[in-house]
Chains A and B, each alone.
Chain A
Amino acid sequence: MESRKNILEVKNLHTYFHTSSGIVRSVDGVDFTLQEGKTLGIVGESGSGKSVTALSIMGLLDDTTGRIEEGEILLDGRDIVPLSKEEKRQIRGNKISMIFQEPMTSLNPVMKIGQQLTECILQHQKVSKDEAWRIAEEMLRKTGVPRVERMMKEYPFQLSGGQRQRVMIAMALVCRPRILIADEPTTALDVTIQAQILDLMNNLKRDIGTSTLFITHDLGVVAEVCDEVVVMYCGRVVEKADVYELFAHPTHPYTKGLLHSIPKLGERVDELEAIPGNVPNPKYMPAGCKFAPRCAYATEKCHQAEPAFTDLGNGHTCRCWLCEKGGMA
């Protein structure tokens, strides 16, 4: 396997929210590495801490009660956690940019598309307004929208959901960032548009040479776009593997549960399979393995102590007592 440069390394990240009713450990010891030019998927249910991980990397926790308590986020080998607000701002939109889930509300309703695209360029690059406008038009054209010149002068409400998400993608990529974080970019779109947007992201990523962190709860999307996958549960990484390895040999009971809950084409089922139970309340976390209360294979040990990572070879690691023994069906 060719060795690539690690462009983003997250090491032992802990992000806690300090609410009036106590501390919520949204991200509790997360490690992963994003290699240059690759796409890393972060998969998990709502509340698994995947979006908070993204906000931590973006440095967008300032206006929340959240804080990075511990850990490192290395961008090109440099830790960006201790940087000042101003230094983090200069990275945002420039070296790391982000696409959000809701294209309908993520664009400013009273500002023209052209202005929303160019302000990012003008903020980070020393170019004239005309030059910025030209760069923005070119990027918007790459996203495959029709009548670019006119769209630059339109307001978001004049665009469809798919068009808005294309604008969001153009906006995120317009400064040619090293890393793109896409937080459920297709969840709010209908299925045919989803496929188009995923294709577009794949193409542009290759074109610009951006590495992508792809956050989703949809394993179908993961199979489509990701090279590697990190499965998160309750603020922890529970399994990490190459995308083919993960789909071929899912090891953690949670990952298995996620895969089982996807309905298969051409198979008649009366009821979809689901993982029983819910994500535990972050204020009442179980003592041992966080997944134990919902796990069909849980033993006494699982409820008492949290397992560490077991290396299964080929970069496949899993946080489960059962795979440590190597004895699970």
Chain B
Amino acid sequence: MLKYTLKRMIGMIPTLIIVVTFVFFFIRLIPGDPARMIAGEQATLEDVEAVRENLGLNKPIYVQYFIYLNGLLHGDLGTSLRTKRPVAQEIASRYVNTMQLTLASLAWATVVGVLMGVWSGKHRGKWQDYTGMTVAVSGISVPNFWLGFLLIMLFAVKLRWMPTTGAGSWRNLVLPAITLGTSIAAIIARFTRSSIIETLKEDYVRTARAKGLKERAVLWGHAFRNSMISVVTVVGLQFGFLLGGSVVTEQVFAFPGLGSLLIESVNYRDYPAIQSLILIFSLQFLVINLLVDILYAVLNPEIKLS
């Protein structure tokens, strides 16, 4: 298992190099000049040139690329053009916020989604199923910004139970986590439902029933673990998306996460920050993919032992 993990981690390197290279050149194709933005609208051409030279943007592009790569190899993500602070520092504080929000959203969404899916799937075609799936479809259909505003109006403005915006305490996480988690819970519920329905048709479930096991033991002991194998993929994907930060939800709650940092950086043509963020997003996806594959092996001994 350890060998496998190491092999997979080495396999990530080429992917990351490709990502770094593509992102580096492509963001420089975005129209707009960071030197002009930093120098300001009123600055003279000389001033702009001075800023450009100062930032190293006057060097040929391939030289800039190698300077960037050299920095990466030494663990240096560069300096933000916008704040003049190291990009790593800039990202770190936002990263903690986004990670907290992601874990909170995903945790409740997974628990609720899986339970709802099992409940619906077990009672396929009955009222429990229709109730569960109606709730799930509503959950997927509700736009995040609308749900966010609704929650703010009810719990922050009217009832004053929760703060409207900001970050720092667990209370700041509640409303955004509900907003983000709702559609994810719904997606997980739908996946779990179909997975449970498929698993309950398996021969070994019939065997379990033929043994005279209680229905609860058949469902949780035999069907559940097998059905989770496909659900893990969905949860992993959602984890990756959430870690990229949610632009809309962060805007609604004025939540300082990675999504809003990315938007600010793009608006400012803050090349080092954009490059680093996208690099981090890619790395996260690769790591999550690896985690999902490891979880597969935990759930399915056939993968683990072969």
Contact = CB atoms under 8 A, between A and B. Distances in A.
A155 B226 CA distance: 14
Contacts of B209: 60, 63, 92
B302 A109 contact: yes
Interface stretch (A34-42, A96-104, A201-209, A267-275): A96-104
A155 B297 CA distance: 13
A198 B228 CA distance: 37
A147 B203 CA distance: 26
Nearest to A60: B209
A100 B203 contact: yes
Contacts of A123: 211-214, 217
Given A105-B202, A110-B299, A111-B222, A90 B212 contact: yes
Interface in A168-192: 168, 171-172
Given A119-B221, A155-B305, A107 B207 contact: yes
A102 B205 CA distance: 13
A60 B208 CA distance: 11
B206 interface: yes
A291 B265 CA distance: 80
Contacts of A124: 212
Contacts of A92: 209-212
Given A107-B207, A158-B305, A120 B212 contact: yes
Interface string A123-165: 1100000000000000000000000000000010110000000
A109 B213 contact: no
Main secondary structure of the interface of B (DSSP, over half): helix
B225 interface: yes
Interface in B201-252: 202-204, 206-215, 217, 221-222, 225-226
Which of B221, B299, B301 has the most chain A CB within a 10 Å cutoff?
B301
A124 B206 CA distance: 17
Nearest to B205: A108
A100 B208 CA distance: 12
Nearest to A98: B210
A119 B300 CA distance: 20
A58 B305 contact: no
B297 to A, nearest CB: 11
Nearest to B204: A108
B136 to A, nearest CB: 23
Contacts of A157: 301-302
Interface size class of B (residues with CB under 8 A): 20 to 34
B35 interface: no
B166 to A, nearest CB: 45
Contact of B207 (A91, A94, A100, A155): A100
Contacts of B204: 105-109
Contacts of A109: 204, 226, 300-302
B206 A108 contact: no
B212 A89 contact: yes
B212 A94 contact: yes
A110 B301 contact: yes
Contacts of B226: 108-110
Contacts of A98: 210
A93 interface: yes
A120 B222 contact: no
A108 B280 CA distance: 40
Given A105-B202, A119-B221, A155-B305, A110 B300 contact: yes
A97 B213 CA distance: 12
Contacts of A58: 210
Contacts of B200: 63
Contacts of A97: 210-211
B217 to A, nearest CB: 7
15 contacts: A89-B213, A93-B210, A100-B203, A102-B203, A105-B204, A108-B226, A109-B204, A109-B300, A110-B225, A110-B299, A119-B211, A123-B217, A155-B302, A171-B207, A171-B211
Interface of B: 200, 202-204, 206-215, 217, 221-222, 225-226, 299-302, 305
Given A119-B221, A155-B302, 4 more contacts: A97-B210, A109-B300, A110-B226, A120-B211
